[in-house]
């Protein structure tokens, strides 16, 4: 019943309403969890990514905390900016979330929200500064294998169809995973979708680890 929840968000210009929705939903999610399943203890963290041209602002992390106001305050300081071409440093963001965050609770949830895929012609036909893939040598395989080895459950919030090829590749590596529709809608509806996606991710993951156990081979098989 102890849960680590990490939001991994694209933080480039088009993502402003989604960063705001993540910020505004967390207190409502924790209140919902408190009333529906008070035995769940939740820590929340954040990892934001942009693109390789964005220098020091490429990756942002807030390690896990149970001080939810700290999470909200941190996201208020995260601007939606940067990015060059359409693909983003998705693999860098996921890798940072998996390797730099202090995962220690038994139930581990990574909720990834983004509107464009990683670099590489295997992910997209769009104009791409790095058609050969991640310039630091990251691949979907080596990043998602780390995710599996740490027993982290992956969930995705879909904003555009541009990520469909990415999802197919990810499924080929780790199998099926829940995908939440975050497409369109006004800000209030978007927050409601975020609350539903986040709450569902938590309860789904708790159910999985309670029923199957926390062994990664069991969970991913």
Taking only the tens place, the pLDDT of each residue in 137-155 is 999 999 999 999 999 999 9
Domains of the chain by start residue, with CATH: 13-187 (3.40.50.410)
Q: What is the pTM of this model?
A: 0.95
Residue 216: pLDDT over 60? no
Distance CA 152, CA 107 (A): 8
Mean of pLDDT over the chain: 93
Question: In angstroms, rounded to a whole number, what is the distance separating the alpha carbons of residues 46 and 58?
Answer: 14
Contact (Cβ atoms closer than 8 angstroms) between residue 18 and residue 190 = yes
User: pLDDT tier at 188 (50, 70, 90 boundaries)?
Assistant: confident
Whole-number pLDDT of residue 202: 95
| pLDDT mean over 7-30 | 92
Higher pLDDT, 107 or 183: 107
Mean pLDDT value of segment 94-103:
98
Query: Is the pLDDT at 114 greater than 60, yes or no?
Result: yes
Mean pLDDT of 55-82: 93
Burial of 187 (0-12, 13-18, 19+ CB in 10 A): exposed
Please answer whether residues 143 and 98 qualify as being in contact, where contact means their C-beta atoms are separated by less than 8 angstroms: yes
Report residue 105's pLDDT band, with 50, 70 and 90 as the boundaries: very high
**Dihedral sign for Cα atoms in the order 132, 168, 22, 185:** positive
Higher pLDDT, 218 or 25: 25
Q: What is the pLDDT at residue 214?
A: 63
* The predicted structure's pLDDT at residue 60: 96
> What's the pLDDT at 217?
60
Q: Which pLDDT score is estimated for 219? A: 77
- For residue 221, pLDDT over 80 is answered with no
pLDDT at 212: 83
């Amino acid at each position: 019943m102890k849960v680590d929840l990490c939001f991994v968000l694209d933080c480039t210009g088009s993502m402003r309403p989604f960063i705001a929705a993540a910020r505004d939903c967390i207190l409502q999610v924790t209140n919902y969890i408190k009333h529906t399943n008070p035995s769940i203890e939740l820590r929340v963290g954040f990892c934001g990514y942009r693109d390789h041209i964005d220098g020091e602002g490429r990756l942002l992390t807030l390690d896990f905390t149970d001080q939810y106001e700290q999470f909200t305050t941190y996201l208020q300081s995260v601007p939606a900016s940067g990015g060059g071409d359409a693909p983003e440093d998705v693999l860098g963001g996921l890798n940072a979330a998996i390797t730099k965050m202090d995962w220690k609770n038994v139930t581990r949830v990574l909720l990834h929200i983004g509107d464009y895929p990683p670099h590489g012609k295997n992910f997209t036909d769009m104009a791409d500064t790095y058609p050969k893939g991640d310039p630091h040598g990251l691949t979907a395989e080596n990043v998602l294998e780390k995710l599996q080895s740490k027993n982290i459950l992956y969930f995705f919030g879909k904003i555009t169809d541009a990520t469909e090829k990415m999802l197919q590749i990810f499924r080929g590596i780790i199998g099926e995973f829940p995908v939440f529709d975050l497409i369109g809608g006004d800000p209030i509806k978007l927050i409601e979708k975020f609350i539903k996606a986040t709450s569902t991710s938590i309860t789904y993951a708790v159910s999985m680890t309670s029923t199957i156990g926390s062994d990664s081979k069991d969970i991913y098989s």
